[in-house]
Amino acid sequence: MSSSVYLPIPKVIQVDTRGAIILEEESPETRDSRGIYFPNHIEPVSHIAVDVGGSLAKVVYFTRSPEPPASPSIAATRGSTSPPELFTPRSISPSADNPIPSSPPSSNVRHNGALTPLVLDPQNHIDGEFSFSTDMLRETMLRRQTSQHFPGGSLNFERFETDNIHQCVEFIQSLIERSAKVNEVSIEDMRKGVKIMATGGGAHKFYEMFKDTLCVEVRREDEMECLIEGLKFITLIPDEAYYFSDELIQSVSHPILSSPSEAMDRPSPNPPQFAVTFESNPTPQLPCLLVNIGSGVSIIKVDGDGQFERVSGTSLGGGTLWGLLSLLTPATSFDEMLKLSEQGDNATVDMLVGDIYGQDYSKLGLKSTMIASSFGKVFKKGKEKGTFSPEDISKSLLYAVSNNIGQIAYMNAEKYNLERIYFGGCFIRGHAATISTLSYAIRFWSKGTKRALFLRHEGFLGSIGAWIRNIGDTEPKSP
């Protein structure tokens, strides 16, 4: 059942995104969790956003620093240190109009990697006591007095498996304790200025755990509203949204052509360059369709006036791939499963059009390399069961789930006459085969009229939206 909701205008953090820089990645496992440095942002921020889904818990928080910090942490992901070739972001230099400001006097500089709550701001330190009120907060947010705060800070991203939610809580606890230490205040004073903005199903399931363990205010935010708010914000960041060119889709999906002269299938009359193409001058891109791929899939229609509606979805999502590959392969993490798929050949498992016809089925526009039946070669009646490598199984199942999601997304985009289709959720993980499969499905079914768009922080839309929303409202929400 669908439900239509009007997106209200919330009290939000006024983030100065001028000159925003997406930091370089540290490993393939952190390619979707690069920090975003805002050289001109001034206000201190002390709340932490948590989006707890069925499989992963995503954390977003802001730390002050006068210069861009090092690449993102791998504390939660434990990734390798070898960078991927495809997604190394290009360097972005601040424009002449928006240069990175020089560091102010050291007396105003907080330490890197720590929260800077407004309650600890010098102008709110009265007679040795810390005061914290809604009026002070709102007044300071509006004043934006650069003389009181040095500009610059980073939005940081971490993720944890929901089954290990205690690790997420411990990470937040250590962040609060470290912040108290570098700000030279007691943990009790630090907690006065820290708030947890929680969304996702786990915001309800683990509410008491967050509240009792962290001893801070915990506020729960609507999951769908946070997704849309996060999408609207993140698409304003330069080089955040991107798409695959037709040639790049082909090279990833079918890297070996039968002959050098074989032409690539190009429904698009004017395919872009052979590259990942970024939207360098972003503007709010509404209306659109948001396909959020987590454990399951939610498909949300977003109108240009801010209304949104969950119009479709499927239970066959990231949790499906994760679960089946856990049964069928020795992989113990989602990133291991993705790595296996990169080394596999789905043609040993899937039945292709060429296996049935011996050639292309040109009348229907079907290439011989297209999948006719996922896992169609596994069952052979009356014959001994074959053995298949974990790599081939992983690639076949990745294609099966991704193709299914892509087709459902296209049908909804066609139904509601939407050209822009954003894919989000931790299922994607910046993974080339996943992106190319979703892109190919949209391109194939739409005959090149629609384009699949992706985001560098696709898995953090909900937590980004929770981080932005309702900072001015200090009334705790009822359990």
Query: What secondary structure, in 3-state letters, does 301-360 show?
Result: EECCCCEEEEEEEECCCHHHHHHHHHHHCCCCCHHHHHHHHHCCCHHHCCEEHHHHHCCC
What are the distances in angstroms from CA 85 to CA 25, 29, 78, 401, 450? 11, 13, 19, 25, 27
Mean pLDDT of 202-227: 92
**Which one is predicted more confidently, 302 or 131?**
302
Residue 471 vs residue 288, higher pLDDT: 288
Amino acid symbol at 439: S
Pick from 7-16, 54-63, 336-345: least confident: 7-16
Is the pLDDT at 215 greater than 90? The verdict is yes
Residue 54's pLDDT is what?
Answer: 84
Round the average pLDDT of the chain to a whole number and report it: 75
pLDDT for 136: 44
pLDDT at residue 152, rounded to an integer: 84
Would you say 390 and 340 are in contact if contact means Cβ atoms under 8 Å apart?
Answer: yes
Q: Is the pLDDT of residue 417 over 80?
A: yes
Place of tokens 């001028």: 18
Strand pairing class (195-199; 48-52): parallel
426-448 per-position pLDDT tens digit:
888 878 888 888 988 898 888 88
Q: Where are the alpha helices (DSSP H) in 184-333?
A: 187-192, 202-205, 207-214, 223-234, 246-253, 318-328
| Nearest residue to 290 (alpha-carbon basis) of 413, 200, 456 | 413
DSSP state of 263: P
- Residue 359: pLDDT band by 50, 70, 90 thresholds? confident
User: Which residue matches tokens 């069925």?
Assistant: 54
Residue 105, pLDDT score: 32
Nearest CA to 67 out of 160, 130, 153 is that of 153
* pLDDT average, residue stretch 449-461: 90
What pLDDT, on a 0 to 100 scale, did the predictor assign at position 470? 53
Higher pLDDT, 109 or 399: 399
pLDDT of residue 189: 87
Q: For 77-106, what is each residue's pLDDT tens digit?
A: 333 333 333 333 332 322 333 333 333 333
Task: Give the residue from 283, 301, 284 showing the smallest Cα distance to 292.
Answer: 301
For residue 18, what pLDDT is reported? 83
Q: What is the pLDDT of residues 276-303, one digit of tens each?
A: 788 766 766 789 999 999 889 999 999 9
Indicate the SS3 state at residue 219. strand
At residue 197, the pLDDT reads 93
What is the structure's pLDDT at 13?
Answer: 59
Residue 48 has pLDDT above 70, yes or no: yes
d(CA 174, CA 180): 10
The more confident residue out of 112 and 228 is: 228
**Structure tokens, 197:** 């903005």
| CB-CB contact of 83 with 27 (8 Å) | yes
> Rounded to whole angstroms, what are the CA distances from 346 to 323, 340, 402, 405?
19, 12, 13, 18
Least confident of 165-179, 387-401, 427-441: 427-441
Burial of 469 (0-12, 13-18, 19+ CB in 10 A): buried
Q: Is 284 exposed, middle or buried (0-12, 13-18, 19+ CB in 10 A)?
A: exposed
The helix/strand/coil state of 100 is coil
Q: How many residues does the chain have?
A: 479
241-455 adopts what CATH topology? Nucleotidyltransferase; domain 5 (3.30.420)
> Per-domain residue ranges for the chain?
4-231+461-468, 241-455
Q: pLDDT class for 157, splitting at 50, 70, 90? A: very high
Look up residue 192 and give its two tokens. Answer: 């006065």
pLDDT of residue 330: 93
Give Cα 215 to chain centroid, integer Å. 28
- Stretch 58-62: mean pLDDT: 93
φ/ψ (deg, to 5) at 197 = -100, 110
**pLDDT value of residue 24:** 77
Residues 6+ apart with CB under 8 A from 12: 229, 468, 469, 470, 471
pLDDT recorded at residue 384:
72
Q: In this predicted structure, what is the pLDDT of residue 134?
A: 43
Contacts of 387 (CB under 8 A, 6+ apart): none
Burial of 468 (0-12, 13-18, 19+ CB in 10 A): buried
For residue 361, the model assigns a pLDDT of 72
Separation of alpha carbons 292 and 112, rounded Å: 33
Per-residue pLDDT averaged across 117-144, rounded? 43
Q: Give burial (CB, 10 Å; 0-12/13-18/19+) of 94.
A: middle
What is the spatial distance between Cα 122 and Cα 133, in angstroms, rounded to a whole number? 15
Torsion of CA 386, 392, 393, 397, to 10 degrees: -140
Question: Which residue from 108, 116, 110 is spatially nearest to 190, judged by alpha carbons?
Answer: 116
With 80 as the cut, is the pLDDT of residue 350 above it?
Answer: yes
Rounded to two decimals, the pTM is 0.73
Residue 244 phi/psi, 5-degree rounding, is: -90, 140
Percent of the chain residues past pLDDT 70, beyond the cut: 69
pLDDT of residue 30: 61
Mean pLDDT of 362-382: 79
Whether pLDDT at 63 is above 90:
no
Rg (CA), the chain: 24
Task: Give residue for tokens 């009265």.
Answer: 126
Rounded distance, CA 323 to CA 338, Å?
Answer: 13
Using DSSP bridges, classify how beta strands 297-302 and 56-64 pair: parallel, antiparallel or unpaired.
unpaired
More confident residue, 446 or 123: 446
Q: Are 162 and 56 in contact (CB under 8 A)?
A: yes
Q: What pLDDT does 247 receive? A: 67
pLDDT value of residue 28: 58
Q: How far apart are CA 48 and CA 169, in angstroms?
A: 11
Mean pLDDT on 311-321: 93
User: For residue 250, what pLDDT is reported?
Assistant: 65
For residue 348 the two structure tokens come to 């040993």
